[in-house]
Amino acid sequence: MTTPAVQAPRGPVTRKDVARYAGVSTAVVSYVVNGGPKKVAPATEAKVQDAIRRLGYRPNAAARALKLGSSETIGLVIPDNSNPFFSLLAHAVEDAAAELGYALLLTNSDGDLAKELRHVRNLAARQVDGVILSSVLMEPGLADLESAEIPVVLLNHSADAPGFKSVGVDLVGGAKSAVEHLIGHGHTSIALAMGTNTGNSYDGREEGWLQALAGAGLPEGPIVRTAFTREGGYAAGKRLLASASRPTAIFATSDLQAVGILRALHEAGLSIPNDIALASFDGSAEAEYSWPPLTTVKQPAKAMADAAVSALIGAHRGRESEHLIFPAELQIRQSCGCP
């Protein structure tokens, strides 16, 4: 028996067209499309799904948002999703949002405050249900979201932001553990390749480096301030190698910087870790697959993303503002001198 040909409706396919084809009411089509609120018999649901497939019906997201009073969409603003750590973080946020039935709008600020503010305004204009922001500032300007009554959670935010929910990682403790590990290998001259942020003069990773050196009674090593990029790390490596008091170890504040430093060290014909040891921060895949593999401080991206989404639209939605800090984990590989 052959299936009768489907005569496609003129113009966009509507819910009424699907109901007519399936021989059900538009309410039943709505229950199937929205997964409720009423249950639909399996045989009836199968007929509706078949009609949707044959007619090529696509629910009107704008109409649905108007009816529900929700766009079922959240916005995410991060500095740079070409950075493996932020790519991992964004993916984790998308997965966590999808589990709750929400879509994600991803934007990149490129570490630029003007771009960040522009993205925040655009997301507010789109009336998203909330925004997760990895800001370039410790205290970002969120007037557009506040005036639109759109909730916001600050992600990858190490400092408490009064009045806002925020999620971050223990930068001080993580950096301190990495530098102490290098000290444990006998290094007494440990340089810092410090990433630079727009508008932020304080970074816990520098504080952790200082605390570890002070705790061991060691002088501060040289500091090179550079971008959180491969190019920034490469430039930092070349500058440290050219210095009169070349360090025997380097702590880089991101894996990308460490990858750039590795190139500078390899080009100089140096052995890592025999000539210069190296440790970094983030715990991205680049650290695991560089050569030698990098000893790095891993940020718990999934746990941080889950917490941010839960605070925005999940189980912790509506709670008072709180600041969640997750511990970082030192992952020991070969670049520090361990077998």
DSSP letters of 272-322?
Answer: TTTTSEEEEEE--HHHHHSSSPPEEEE--HHHHHHHHHHHHHSTTTTPPP-
Helices (H) and strands (E) in the chain, counts: 13, 12
Whether 306 and 164 map to the same domain: the answer is yes
Distance CA 135, CA 302 (A): 19
Distance CA 31, CA 101 (A): 15
User: Over 60: is that where the pLDDT of 117 sits?
Assistant: yes
User: Over 70: is that where the pLDDT of 65 sits?
Assistant: no
Q: Are 121 and 142 in contact (CB under 8 A)?
A: no
Whether 292 and 176 map to the same domain: the answer is yes
Whether 49 and 117 map to the same domain: the answer is no
What phi and psi, each to the nearest 5 degrees, are found at residue 268?
-80, 0
Whether 175 and 163 map to the same domain: the answer is no
Spell out the residues 6+ positions from residue 24 whose beta carbon is closer than 8 angstroms to its own: 44, 47, 48
User: Over 90: is that where the pLDDT of 214 sits?
Assistant: yes
Whether 193 and 139 map to the same domain: the answer is no
**Nearest in space to 157 (alpha carbons), one of 322, 318, 285:** 322
**Domain end: 267, 284, 300, which one?**
300
Residue 191, helix vs strand vs coil:
strand
Residue 272 in any domain: the answer is yes
Whether 161 and 308 map to the same domain: the answer is yes
**Nearest in space to 192 (alpha carbons), one of 132, 238, 252:** 252
- pLDDT > 90: percent of the chain: 55
Residue corresponding to tokens 């553990």:
177
Residue 191 in any domain: the answer is yes
Strands (E), the chain: 73-78, 103-108, 130-133, 152-155, 165-169, 190-195, 223-226, 249-252, 277-282, 295-298, 323-326, 329-331
- pLDDT > 70: percent of the chain: 90
Band of pLDDT at residue 132, cut at 50, 70 and 90:
very high
Band of pLDDT at residue 14, cut at 50, 70 and 90:
confident
Q: What is the pLDDT of residue 63?
A: 54
Torsion of CA 281, 287, 288, 290, to 10 degrees: -150
Q: What is the CATH number of the domain that holds 24?
A: 1.10.260.40
Looking at per-residue pLDDT, the higher value among 123 and 277 belongs to 277
Whether 194 and 290 map to the same domain: the answer is yes
Residue 245 in any domain: the answer is yes
DSSP letters of 127-144?
Answer: T-SEEEE--SSSS---HH
Distance CA 61, CA 59 (A): 6
Band of pLDDT at residue 209, cut at 50, 70 and 90:
very high
Whether 124 and 181 map to the same domain: the answer is no
Q: How many domains, the chain? A: 3
Q: What is the pLDDT of residue 1?
A: 42
Distance CA 58, CA 71 (A): 16
Band of pLDDT at residue 184, cut at 50, 70 and 90:
very high
Distance CA 192, CA 198 (A): 19
Q: Give Cα 261 distance to the centre of its chain.
A: 24
Half-sphere exposure of residue 320, counting CA atoms within 13 Å on the CB side? Answer: 1
Spell out the residues 6+ positions from residue 293 whose beta carbon is closer than 8 angstroms to its own: 287, 333, 334, 335
**Nearest in space to 73 (alpha carbons), one of 62, 88, 87:** 62
Distance CA 155, CA 304 (A): 8
Looking at per-residue pLDDT, the higher value among 135 and 58 belongs to 135
Residue 312 in any domain: the answer is yes
Whether 275 and 178 map to the same domain: the answer is yes
Residue corresponding to tokens 């430093």:
261
Domain that holds residue 19: 15-59
Residue type, 105: L
User: Over 70: is that where the pLDDT of 9 sits?
Assistant: no
Distance CA 66, CA 321 (A): 28
Distance CA 235, CA 50 (A): 59
Q: What confidence tens digit (pLDDT) does each residue in 281-337 have?
A: 999 999 999 999 999 999 999 999 999 999 998 877 767 778 899 999 999 999 999
Whether 33 and 85 map to the same domain: the answer is no
Q: What is the pLDDT of residue 67?
A: 52
